[in-house]
Amino acid sequence: MSSATIVNLPRISREDLAKLVRDKEPGISIIDVRDGDYIGGHIVGCQNVPTSTHDYRMPELVRTLADKDTVVFHCALSQQRGPSSALRYLRERERMSAKGEATSGEQGKDAAKEQKVVVLDGGFTKWQEVYGTDAELTEGYVKDLWDDSW
């Protein structure tokens, strides 16, 4: 079982992630786990995988993201749902590796070792404070929904 916990999960700053998104880094995938609060904007190129779908979507997510170098999870604040989802993802990768299920054409632990799983520090709330109106980085942004919230 993974030694990762919510406390020691690696974080990525909004500035570092913004650079990767601007550069259209092909080895990164951004997973937004917000449920109904997904409205009002999201990071360009992210996938919305609501926490309510994790029971049945996590194995599929592990398989489809197996070729990515870095997977970034986030929610609104990245205090609970984002980190919990990242941990669940890591544990599912380990489970699938232990069972010998193929990931990106490779078997087992080698694929799991090569992928970095991180959490966006401050979540979308902090992201939108700086990049909400930047159309190169944020899609579907509705400023009024974020004013005086959180």
List 28, 75, 96, 120, catalytic entry = 75
Q: What is the DSSP string of 88-148?
A: HHHHHHHHHHHTT-EETTEETHHHHHT-EEEEETTHHHHHHHHHTT-TTTEES--HHHHTT
Establish whether 75 is a catalytic residue: yes
Tell me the Cα Rg of the chain. 15
Residues with catalytic function = 75
